[in-house]
Amino acid sequence: MLKTVFLGLVLGLTLGISLAGEVFSRIGMQPETYMLMLTGFLIAALIVGRGIGMLAAFIVLGIAVLQPDHMLVEYGFDKDLLLATLLIITMYPIIHRVMQS
Per-residue pLDDT reduced to its tens digit, 47-81: 777 777 877 888 888 888 888 888 888 888 888 88
- CB within 8 A of 10, min separation 6: which ones? none
Residue 53's closest CA among 42, 61, 44? 61
15 in Cβ contact with 83 (< 8 Å): no
Reduced DSSP (H G I as helix, E B as strand, rest coil) percent helix, strand, coil of the chain, to 5: 80, 0, 20
pLDDT reading at 12 higher than 70: no
More confident of the two residues 9 and 34: 34
Q: Is the pLDDT of residue 31 over 80?
A: no
